[in-house]
Structure 1
Amino acid sequence: MADDSFVLGGCTQQKYTPDSPYESNLNSLLTSLVNSATYSSYNNFTILGSSPQDVVYGLYQCRGDLSMPDCATCVARAVSQTGSLCPTACGGAVQLQGCYVKYDNATFLGVEDKNVVLKKCGPSVEYDKEAEIVGRRDAMMGGLMSGGGAFRVGGSGEVQGLAQCVGDLSAGECQDCLSAAIGRLKTECGAANYGDMYLGKCYARFSTSATADTGGDHSFAKSHNDKSSNDGEKTFAIIIGLLAGIALLIIFFAFLRKVVDRNGK
């Protein structure tokens, strides 16, 4: 499973004016998200403005089993995709396989959201395996429900699954959100060989070995070895260099725009 493969995205209808204080604050927020992801798997920020309409709120979160280099890479990719997906939109969100990024001019931090934003159910398992697979799936999901923490993984036989809440929820809100996601997944995906249920502030997923063996988007297992660790460290160093380069480019283009505007007047 590629950690930076696209899952879903969306934008608010409200737009901001280019070169406005809101755009400046949004750029500051997105830079903060990318920088923070180099050392923390979750964070949220509020960038204040000179007026209430210039305030921007945002957060990011990485899947709980991602290394910090992989987390930073994923968040940088998600932030980049918000720019192409939601140009001049006041709010946007992108969910990749390994991370989630969201920003808006209306606060959503600490607010539980159990609305369904994406549901995927795979094809039904073979008839002669249906009872066994469904039983193992329900047992695995029972383990996810009883597990603690914001990130939970589990398995039963050839069925594996994971669930995660966004880090701004309380423990009780997280449990409530996951209960809703898991309940809908069991009800709406029936005897499917995989299922994804993404709610506004949490998600739950499962797959069987039949889908995991294909190595597609529903193969959750991550292998951790020395090569991947070394590659992650190299990627981490590259990201630090890219962040510095991006910051310089932002400054340069802002200066160039001002020069062009001044000469055009």
Structure 2
Amino acid sequence: MAVFGLLFLAFSSTLLLLLLHFNLNSAQTFIYPICSGVNYTTNSTYQTNLKLLLSSLANNNSPNNTRFFNNTVGRSSDRIYGLLQCRGDMDSEDCKKCARTATNESTTRCPSKTKAIIYYDECWLQYSNESLISRLQFDPTLYLYNENNVTDPNLFTPKLNDLLGSINDQAVSISPNRFATGEDNYTSSQKIYGLVQCTEDISRSDCDRCLRRSISEFPGCCDKRQGARVIKPSCNIRYELYDFYQSQTAAPPPQITSPPNTNTTRGNGRKSSKNVVLIVVPTVIAALVLLSIVAIFFCLRRNKKKFEIIENADEISTVESLQFNFATVEAATDNFSDDNKLGEGGFGAVYKGKLSEEREIAVKRLSRNSGQGLEEFKNEVLLLAKLQHRNLVRLLGFCIEGREKLLIYEFVPNASLDKFIFDPIKRTYLDWERRYKIIGGIARGLLYLHEDSRDRIIHRDLKASNILLDAEMNSKISDFGMARLFVLDQTQGTTSRIVGTYGYMSPEYAMHGHFSVKSDVFSFGVLVLEIITGQKNNSFDSERAEDLLCYVSMTAFSPLFPFLLNL
């Protein structure tokens, strides 16, 4: 338990320094920044032009209810293009507040970068040294989704598709500002709410292309989720099972025949504690997690003889040696009956099965919309089959039959960690000794993936639902559907497709698409806090904070803090 003391001591000291530099209040609901391009030089002409551009976007004198502003400042290589789009249901005052907040915070969120997209719930700001106005942009794309699945996907999916198609047609054909919302009945007591929007500078045909592509990407990223967003520079789509937009339809803006001029905006934005999570907490948690992982890994290396790494137990030479017959798996799971269904995630449902020799297995039936090709699937299977460690769920084989793709794993009887730590009754079984054992097992599994296996693997989706517990409550990392392989001495990768679970993604991955072992380390730190507190990061409910990470930061100096140091 000394690790926890060291962990929280570093956390509190780092937090104190950060709280001295950041105001706990913020005007708007910040989502993510995407920073790219090269660094510009301090006090350069480009920086001066950027300040002029941001000022013009923040201080505009466009007519009331105008929610789109753009401008271009400078010449030649120092020219900079910018636009700001407010959400269609925001009134004039709220739009001005978001414009003011976004322009004020942009250079802090993307310091010294020539390109940036800053997303808030109420608006989004974009600037670049390359022309972007009236230009359709599909990437980079940001995917966010609710961890919980709908109860009846067969009923939900068609209704969602109909709703999104309907409001897409409204935004493209009817709405003067490329914005539409709508709702439809999901069940007798529940509705689906949807929102679509394009930036007002692109044509209606380009808006239609952008929205339709976004809709087509929902099955691959967010299938069966209770809520999700696909956010692109030129358009965004969101749906939820609750009313998240202004119910009163906003008045359409007047027609503008030329680019809007600039003016002054007045008023102070209302403040929210949510930005604490997204500004202060990521930095705090990064320091917290780095210290905890180093401390635990140091202990593991020092005591390496105390645990076993099972590698090369049996060498796999071909993918075919792992292939199961579909009829065998179908019989083992009783034709994938609901009685054998263990759960469902973003990549597919998992079923319990029993082979003829009474060996129990877990079968993951991948979604047909997963987007993974046959060769990619086989390569992933071969990679995972070579990962043999007591703290990783072992892959036994796979099956391909027509459009069906199945992964067969060892059966782990105590299900996933989230079923224990977030259950008010079951979590009483997890005393501090068991929790420490679970944390140590996860750390050992990560150490193997990052350092001790033949290939360095970045998991990219480490969370409580992806940690399984065997009969002795040993933790096993599972679900490698988003894992990435690093070659030789590679230490970092980059992607423009940002996927993952909101609240667990590290800042450098969410902001820049950079992933490395540090990405898993950050997720591990969030997971450690959940195991310690028994509270879920993404659905934390408290009058003092909207998020577990924010709550921990705010209570670090409470009277309970000395008690935590002695755990």
- When normalised by structure 1's length, the TM-score is 0.75
1:246 corresponds to which residue?
none
Indicate conservation of the 8 Å contact 2:181/2:194, yes or no: yes
Q: Name which of 70, 88, 93 aligns with 1:44.
A: 70
1:113 aligns with 2:137: yes
- Worse-matched range after superposition: 62-71 or 137-146: 137-146
Cα pair distance change 1:89/1:115, threshold 3 Å: closer
Q: Secondary structure at the match of 2:124?
A: strand
1:154 aligns with 2:182: yes
Cα pair distance change 1:197/1:53, threshold 3 Å: same
For residues 78-89 of structure 1, the aligned pairs below 5 Å read 78-89=102-113
- CA offset at residue 6 of structure 1? 1.4
1:60 corresponds to which residue?
84
1:23 aligns with 2:47: yes
1:92 corresponds to which residue?
116
Partners of 2:196 and 2:155 lie apart in 1 by 22
Partners of 1:223 and 1:142 lie apart in 2 by 20
Indicate conservation of the 8 Å contact 2:36/2:114, yes or no: yes
Q: 1:217-248 CA distances to partner (integer Å, 9 max, x unpaired)? A: xx423256xxxxxxxxxxx64259xxxxxxxx
- CA offset at residue 159 of structure 1? 0.2
Partners of 2:72 and 2:146 lie apart in 1 by 39
Indicate conservation of the 8 Å contact 1:62/1:98, yes or no: yes
- CA offset at residue 42 of structure 1? 0.3
Q: Name which of 175, 178, 182 aligns with 2:211.
A: 178
Q: Secondary structure at the match of 1:12?
A: strand
Indicate conservation of the 8 Å contact 1:37/1:75, yes or no: no
Amino acid at match of 1:43: F
Q: 1:131-158 CA distances to partner (integer Å, 9 max, x unpaired)? A: 3322321221121232133111111010
Amino acid at match of 1:71: C
Cα pair distance change 1:171/1:126, threshold 3 Å: closer
2:199 corresponds to which residue?
166
Partners of 1:203 and 1:45 lie apart in 2 by 22
For residues 210-225 of structure 1, the aligned pairs below 5 Å read 212=242, 219-222=243-246
Q: Name which of 164, 174, 189 aligns with 1:141.
A: 164
1:10 aligns with 2:8: no
Cα pair distance change 1:3/1:192, threshold 3 Å: farther
Amino acid at match of 1:139: D
Q: Any stretches of 5+ residues in structure 2 without a counterpart?
A: 1-25, 186-190, 249-264, 270-567
1:207 corresponds to which residue?
240
Partners of 1:111 and 1:3 lie apart in 2 by 29
Amino acid at match of 1:137: L
Q: Secondary structure at the match of 1:60?
A: strand
Q: Secondary structure at the match of 2:43?
A: coil
Q: Any stretches of 5+ residues in structure 1 without a counterpart?
A: 213-218, 225-235, 241-265
**4+ residue segments displaced more than 4 Å:** none
- CA offset at residue 124 of structure 1? 4.3
- Root-mean-square deviation (CA, aligned residues, Å) is 2.3
Larger RCO: Structure 1 or Structure 2 (Cα < 8 Å, ≥ 6 residues apart)?
Answer: 1
Indicate conservation of the 8 Å contact 2:150/2:225, yes or no: no
Cα pair distance change 1:82/1:135, threshold 3 Å: same
Identical pairs, percent:
24
- When normalised by structure 2's length, the TM-score is 0.36
Amino acid at match of 1:103: Y
Partners of 1:220 and 1:46 lie apart in 2 by 33
Q: Name which of 255, 259, 267 aligns with 1:238.
A: 267
Q: Secondary structure at the match of 2:95?
A: helix
Q: Counting helix residues as a fraction of each chain, which structure ranks higher?
A: 1
Partners of 2:226 and 2:220 lie apart in 1 by 14
Partners of 1:70 and 1:60 lie apart in 2 by 13
Q: Secondary structure at the match of 1:19?
A: coil
1:190 aligns with 2:218: no
Amino acid at match of 1:204: I
Indicate conservation of the 8 Å contact 1:38/1:72, yes or no: no
- CA offset at residue 53 of structure 1? 1.4
Amino acid at match of 1:155: E
Q: Secondary structure at the match of 2:59?
A: helix
Q: 1:171-223 CA distances to partner (integer Å, 9 max, x unpaired)? A: 10001100101121245322110010112311111011xxx2xxxxxx42325
- Worse-matched range after superposition: 79-88 or 62-71: 79-88
Partners of 2:192 and 2:71 lie apart in 1 by 37
